[in-house]
Amino acid sequence: MVQKKNMIICQSGGPTAVINASVVGAYHRAVKAEGIEHIYGGYNGILGVLKEELIDLQKQDSVMDGLQFTPSSALGSCRYKLASDFNHEDYRRIFQVFEAHNVGYFFYNGGNDSMDTAMKLDKYAKESGYDIKIIGIPKTIDNDLQGTDNCPGFGSAARYINTSLLEAAFDCYTYSLKTILLMEVMGRHSGWLAASSALAIYNGEPVPDLIYLPEVPFSQEKFLSQVKEKFKEKEILFIVVSEGITDEQGEFFLAEQAQKNDQFGHKRLGGVSLYLQDVLEENICKRVKVINPGILQRCATHCVSGTDLDEAYWVGYRAVDYALQGNSGFMAAIKRLSNQPYQWDVRLVPLEQVANKEKKFPTEWIVPEGNYITQDAIEYMKPLIEGSVIAPLWKGLPRYNILKREFIPRKLNSWK
């Protein structure tokens, strides 16, 4: 007879348009598993475990399917970093919660820092002899996780950016006025999202004329020279810039303005486009329009990529499958099998190869001038924004599901 254990799944870090699809995929596999009895969601990431705030997902089965068409993190999120010292009280508390609720499976759905949490918990479990299977489930719009061909969340964010840029092109070409349109795209250290803007095509030509990524040191003087040269050729110019562009010293371009850090020590970015707008208006053109979609890049489920939604679902599903086979200490990653047609599979990658590492946009995919990308990069990204998704509607608007924050009874004292 199979000894049943319970399962916890949590979400952490910045949300995406498809992050909930991974939870749904994991849930669908878990409900069919003989070895899993209760399926819990930790509210607000690892903090939900520390606080013993666990949601019984089976009691809300009626809303689970609809979550894959719902933006943001249905289970809430956090940016809480576990200490490197395993003697820290957090570890004892987490595993006391695991033991109190008979947890034998733990899944952490997130990015680089989330994989660090999963890795530390797996190492602690193995050192302490606690029998639990821990698997990381990838997500991030930045596409910067090592060990996976692409990250669930990236394709949909790229699709939103390209859709917005294309629509802006139609708007700008309505007039014959000399115009520069500047779009600022998310991307702290990697330029995948900004690079993806090259997929937007208007009248047979790419919409962006210039693309600036964090992987290439940004020089304001060089930038102005390149814009002036392009502006001689075209009366309407489109520029895409990553929020994380850096200067020649490797510092964020507006480092003096970025005084605040998040809990992981990362600078809070944003505002590059507004600064460059002033520079361009002063030196090149008085008509400079700025688009800064901000958080819309990561929560536009109405613009979701079918490929992205499919991948997000199956990395969650297969993560549980791999855990049931006895694997622990891995991330469920995407392996590209072919480009045309686009085919992929889910494989395991050790968490040590993922945690706290960033996958940069390949320099060989950047043109020598440092202001655009190559055809190889475009071919890599094309299939990731494809596929239609018909989301349910209610009174003309998307129908989104919400999990009730009803926690199971606590068995331990409150966490301080």
Q: Taking the domains of the chain in order of start, what are their residue ranges? A: 5-142+302-356+386-398, 154-301
Report which of 3, 4, 6 is spatially closest to residue 97, judged by C-alpha positions: 6
From first to last of its 416 residues, the chain has per-residue pLDDT tens of 568 999 999 999 999 999 999 999 999 999 999 999 999 999 999 999 999 999 999 999 999 999 999 999 999 999 999 999 999 999 999 999 999 999 999 999 999 999 999 999 999 999 999 999 999 999 999 999 999 999 999 999 999 999 999 999 999 999 889 999 999 999 988 999 999 999 999 999 999 999 999 999 999 999 999 999 999 999 999 999 999 999 888 888 875 444 444 454 545 455 899 999 999 999 999 999 999 999 999 999 999 999 999 999 999 999 999 999 999 999 999 999 999 999 999 999 999 999 999 999 999 999 999 999 999 999 999 999 999 998 899 999 999 999 999 999 999 999 98
pLDDT at residue 416, rounded to an integer: 81
In this chain, the answer to whether the domains covering 5-142+302-356+386-398 and 154-301 adopt an identical fold is yes
Q: List the catalytic residue out of 142, 149, 209, 310.
A: 142
pLDDT at residue 258, rounded to an integer: 42
Q: Look up the pTM and report it.
A: 0.94
CA dihedral 59, 62, 63, 66 (to 10 degrees): 150
Q: Options 3.40.50.460, 3.20.20.10, 3.60.110.10, 3.60.20.10; which CATH number does 154-301 get?
A: 3.40.50.460
The CATH class of 5-142+302-356+386-398 is alpha beta
> At 72, which amino acid appears?
S
CA angle 218, 224, 229 (to 5 degrees): 120
**Distance in angstroms (rounded) separating the CA atoms of residues 276 and 285:** 12
**Distance in angstroms (rounded) separating the CA atoms of residues 147 and 149:** 7
pLDDT at residue 392, rounded to an integer: 92
**Distance in angstroms (rounded) separating the CA atoms of residues 356 and 132:** 23
Cα 34 to Cα 155, 211, 332: the distances in Å are 34, 51, 21
**Known catalytic residue: 308?**
no
Half-sphere exposure of 290 (CA within 13 A, CB side): 18
